[in-house]
Structure 1
Amino acid sequence: MKWLFNLGYLLAGALISPWYFFMALTTRKYRAGLSQRLGDIPFREREGQSIWLHAVSVGELLASRPLIKALRERFPQYELVVTYTTRTAAEIARRELPGVYHCYSPLDLSWVVARFFKRLRPALIILMELELWPNWLMHAESAGVPVLLANGRISDRSFRSYRRFAPLLARAFGAISHWAMQDETYAARAAELCSHAPRWRNRLWLQDGDGRWWISAQDLSFEARRHWQEHLDEYLVAAENQSSVPLPRTFDPERRSELKPHRPLEFVQGRPRVYGVEMTPAPVSISGNLKYDSLKGEVDLARVAQFRALFSIQPGQRLLVCGSTHPGEHEAIVDMLPRLGVRCLLVPRHPERYASVRELLTRAGLPWVNRSELSPQKPALRDAVILLDTVGELALVYALADVVFVGGSLIRHGGQNMAEPVALGKATLFGPHTDNFKATVRELLDVRGALRVQDAAELEREITRLLADSAAREALGSAGQARLLASRGALARYMALIEGLLPAKAEVGP
């Protein structure tokens, strides 16, 4: 199977190599960390086993900070290794993780992955949110290394793709020892994906004399599988006595014609006779969102005061922070700024968009300045739009805000993380496209702790209203902050899972 993925990667690489080499020559981010991704990673000072935590980019890395701290304190016998994929995550790791071994993650080529495993000697691999690289996972399975998917999240788009290629990815699904998901929706998706792996395929046998019929995990909803697992003892007794049991309400009896082989089942008063049960509980749990545990709810007041002076924010002057914005949103924000009459701090999601945003501001006749150009000796002009072109300062910037708009949500992107400004008690708005954060949005809207707008016109109206009404800002921010801070506690559940997956004793040498 590995050769098949290697061949696919190499063919894809050959097709895109002219474009990639051009981009690598002209754009820094395409050549950042390439030698490490090919296996040229630093030697470790310690020779024993490691706990290998992989966080794709900045969001995952920041969310994993409480976990990283807890792992170093609880398991000092293992060296903690952190890998990432993006240049911005590398910058955060260098600044935020002193004393932690970190490097870029491997390209998913079997020989590169093998070199990483030889160098890092993992006793456990922790994947943050979802990074499903087949060769990486299959190598872990072959080496007997458990894999924990932590803070699991499967977006609509990823779920469709994984389900489409499920037969090809079945072994990779099976290599994940436990899928610890953020909420019920993601847990249901994880259960469906891992049910394709023979390792986790659950079957309820229905036998009638000369033949067997079964309901396999793929035929059932997450709720139905959970029903059978919770009532396993009841089904075992029924099988022993050859008696009937009720179907879970989530299983449609009309689907019995789809069971294999295609023969009628024996039903007694609407209940199937059960003659045997084979249950391997799917390794899926709802463990919560680590991002909530990383929320502090308070800020460094001294640094906030420094930033207020740096940005020349005057007493009584209102500040709108537009965080993690995308093309399509930049234009709308720049268009409404003159009418809003408010200071604005604009934070494009991707650094390569800075130039186009500067051009938009210039064409609109709005003064602007890059955050990187400011210093105590050279603060911003009092009416300038601040373009945040630095990494790792977004939380401090949110702390300055009176109103926050979180981007990636007016366009069909799926949204960006709105938990950080809400946890700081800020009046926070986002657009209709927040599929990547369904659970958080649901919690916030239930308590009126944030505002969802449908388009740019409504966004402008709501910002105008909130800027003029301090009581409305306070009510919105307080409700959301209270709800999110009450949701903390996932860290303890993840640490319990990790303790159960780690070997009892770490190997010391190679």
Structure 2
Amino acid sequence: MLVFYSLGIRCYYFLIKIASLFNKKAGLFVSGRKNLLTDLKNAINDNENIVWFHAASLGEFEQGLPVMEAYKELFPQNQVLVTFFSPSGYEERKSHPIADWVFYLPIDSKRNAKQFLDIVKPKSVFFIKYEYWFHYLNEVNQRNIPLYSLSALFTVDHIFFKSHGVFHRRMLHFFDHTFVQNESSLQLLNGLGIEKASISGDTRFDRVLKTIDQPDHYQDIENFKGGELLMVIGSAWPSDMQVLDEFINTSPQNLKFIIAPHLVDDLNVKKITSGLEVKTHRFTSGQEIPSNTKVLILDTMGMLSSVYQYGDFAYIGGAFGDGLHNILEAVAFGLPVVFGDKGLEKFPESLALQQLGGAFSIKSKDEASTILEKLTSDDSFRSATSDICRDYVLNNAGATDHIISYLKNQNV
């Protein structure tokens, strides 16, 4: 099975290299790994006391950030190396102050894993949520370097728990401790005989609480909202806009919209706005917003998590295709959230909030209009759902403290 795994990794990289000829993201994936190990060696330069955190992309980095911050406060003598698999994470956070170094992760091969670890010589290693690369994990395990999985989340649909998942299950046993988000994940691990695990909760709750304490402020956005209601549409895909266009086009005068596209390239923005019949404005911070603008399209990355502070309720995209995006950034500011109905079992916070009454899944434009009209017109309903959302975040905070307490006792 290892032979097929390694062959699959090589084929994947070969296809990415072909795609890099015409796809910008694939191009960054390839160019970012050119001379990577040499650049890494020159940057590390035999530094000691390095702790390695690995994230697939931006979302996982944000999930692990509270732990990185608390870790550096607890062990200031250690230096932090952060690696990313995806360009969307690396490009957004390559200059983040939490890290002493930020690099792409070399493609998973036995040779790369050995060379990487020979250079870095980490004291301990943390993989965040959904990242399992056999050669790296195996090499870390063989070198007896403490290895931890942060905010892990498992469902019965994952390959680890299938009859044909024997090879993948080996990787779960490499970890010295796995911090899982919920009880069902822990039970699944225990069912495989993995006892070195505990329920920490989801560190994203700690992350969003910090965001609402210290949000970035945008006077332009505040002026745009004025004294009217504002709906924020976060991480929007064209498939999301298909169920929202009608509501936006017929919405009352006292309701404005901010749309943050998942991708901000011209073609994608054109697809997202193609069904809108109201006045839109593509916005970059510092630009003047026309007075008759109904819909503001954010033309920049990194604003969304703070923009939610100006909203009254939100729609979060992705659940009609790629997967639901982060709803907690909106919920932390007390925004009731609406989203699509596909694949929600992978996002337990979406199911929990629906049960509590702070979130609503929809499968059609009629369902979208019904709940959004109620959030617009019923002040008491909107206020009650807002309180549910705030309480949910506060009641689920503390995952970072659990993890750091364990690490402190292990002195890693």
Query: Is TM > 0.5 for Structure 1 vs Structure 2?
Result: yes
- Is 1:356 the counterpart of 2:278? The answer is no
Query: Which of 300, 303, 314 is matched with 2:217 structurally?
Result: 303
Could you say which residue in structure 2 is the equivalent of 1:388?
298
Could you say which residue in structure 1 is the equivalent of 2:318?
408
- CA–CA distance in 1 between the matches of 2:93 and 2:216? 24
Could you say which residue in structure 1 is the equivalent of 2:242?
331
Could you say which residue in structure 1 is the equivalent of 2:204?
291
Query: Which of 286, 289, 304 is matched with 1:375 structurally?
Result: 286
- CA–CA distance in 2 between the matches of 1:302 and 1:150? 27
Greater shift, 453-462 or 471-480, is seen at 453-462
The 8 Å contact of residues 79 and 99 in structure 2, kept in 1 or not, is answered as no
Residues 161-192 of structure 1: CA distance to partner in whole angstroms, max 9, x if unpaired? 66354222343222112121000122223334
- CA–CA distance in 1 between the matches of 2:159 and 2:249? 42
The 8 Å contact of residues 130 and 154 in structure 1, kept in 2 or not, is answered as no
After TM superposition, give the deviation of residue 337 of structure 1 in Å.
1.2
Is the partner of 1:62 in helix, strand or coil?
helix
- CA–CA distance in 2 between the matches of 1:388 and 1:343? 14
Q: Aligned runs of 1:52-201 on 2, under 5 Å?
A: 52-97=52-97, 100-155=100-155, 157=157, 159-160=158-159, 163-192=162-191, 194-195=192-193
Is the partner of 1:458 in helix, strand or coil?
helix
The 8 Å contact of residues 299 and 396 in structure 1, kept in 2 or not, is answered as no
- CA–CA distance in 2 between the matches of 1:380 and 1:85? 40
Query: Which of 12, 22, 29 is matched with 2:25 structurally?
Result: 29
Q: Structure 1: which amino acid aligns with 2:376?
A: L
Residues 169-219 of structure 1: CA distance to partner in whole angstroms, max 9, x if unpaired? 343222112121000122223334x53xxxx5xxxxxxxxxxxxxxxxxxx
- CA–CA distance in 2 between the matches of 1:361 and 1:81? 40
- CA–CA distance in 1 between the matches of 2:168 and 2:215? 49
Is the partner of 1:391 in helix, strand or coil?
coil
- CA–CA distance in 2 between the matches of 1:386 and 1:327? 16
Is the partner of 2:162 in helix, strand or coil?
helix
- CA–CA distance in 2 between the matches of 1:391 and 1:93? 11
The 8 Å contact of residues 124 and 147 in structure 2, kept in 1 or not, is answered as yes
The 8 Å contact of residues 346 and 385 in structure 1, kept in 2 or not, is answered as yes
Q: 1:359 to 1:479 in 2, by over 3 A?
A: closer
Is the partner of 2:53 in helix, strand or coil?
strand
Q: Structure 1: which amino acid aligns with 2:200?
A: S
Q: Structure 2: which amino acid aligns with 1:191?
A: N
Aligned-pair identity in percent equals 20
Is the partner of 2:148 in helix, strand or coil?
strand
Residues 266-325 of structure 1: CA distance to partner in whole angstroms, max 9, x if unpaired? xxxxxxxxxxxxxxxx2121111111111227355771434323xx3332x222111123
The 8 Å contact of residues 57 and 88 in structure 2, kept in 1 or not, is answered as yes
Q: Structure 2: which amino acid aligns with 1:347?
A: A
Q: Aligned runs of 1:336-485 on 2, under 5 Å?
A: 336-341=247-252, 342-351=255-264, 355-362=267-274, 364-372=276-284, 374-376=285-287, 378-409=288-319, 411=320, 413-433=322-342, 434-438=344-348, 440-485=349-394
Residues 37-61 of structure 1: CA distance to partner in whole angstroms, max 9, x if unpaired? 4534431266113111112111111
The 8 Å contact of residues 225 and 310 in structure 2, kept in 1 or not, is answered as no
Structure 2 stretches lacking a partner, 5+ long: none
- CA–CA distance in 1 between the matches of 2:275 and 2:328? 33
- CA–CA distance in 1 between the matches of 2:9 and 2:300? 34
Residues 426-461 of structure 1: CA distance to partner in whole angstroms, max 9, x if unpaired? 1222233322222x2343234323333343311111
The 8 Å contact of residues 36 and 105 in structure 1, kept in 2 or not, is answered as no
Q: 1:59 to 1:307 in 2, by over 3 A?
A: same
After TM superposition, give the deviation of residue 499 of structure 1 in Å.
3.1
- CA–CA distance in 1 between the matches of 2:164 and 2:411? 30
The 8 Å contact of residues 82 and 99 in structure 2, kept in 1 or not, is answered as no
- CA–CA distance in 2 between the matches of 1:36 and 1:118? 20
Is the partner of 2:347 in helix, strand or coil?
helix
Query: Which of 395, 403, 409 is matched with 1:494 structurally?
Result: 403
The 8 Å contact of residues 319 and 343 in structure 1, kept in 2 or not, is answered as yes
- CA–CA distance in 1 between the matches of 2:147 and 2:98? 25
Residues 100-138 of structure 1: CA distance to partner in whole angstroms, max 9, x if unpaired? 311112210111222221221111111111211111111
- CA–CA distance in 1 between the matches of 2:109 and 2:82? 19
Q: Aligned runs of 1:263-278 on 2, under 5 Å?
A: none
How big is the alpha-carbon RMSD for the aligned residues of Structure 1 and Structure 2? 2.7
Q: 1:11 to 1:487 in 2, by over 3 A?
A: closer
Residues 65-86 of structure 1: CA distance to partner in whole angstroms, max 9, x if unpaired? 2211111111123211111122
Q: Structure 2: which amino acid aligns with 1:462?
A: I
Query: Which of 26, 36, 39 is matched with 2:37 structurally?
Result: 39
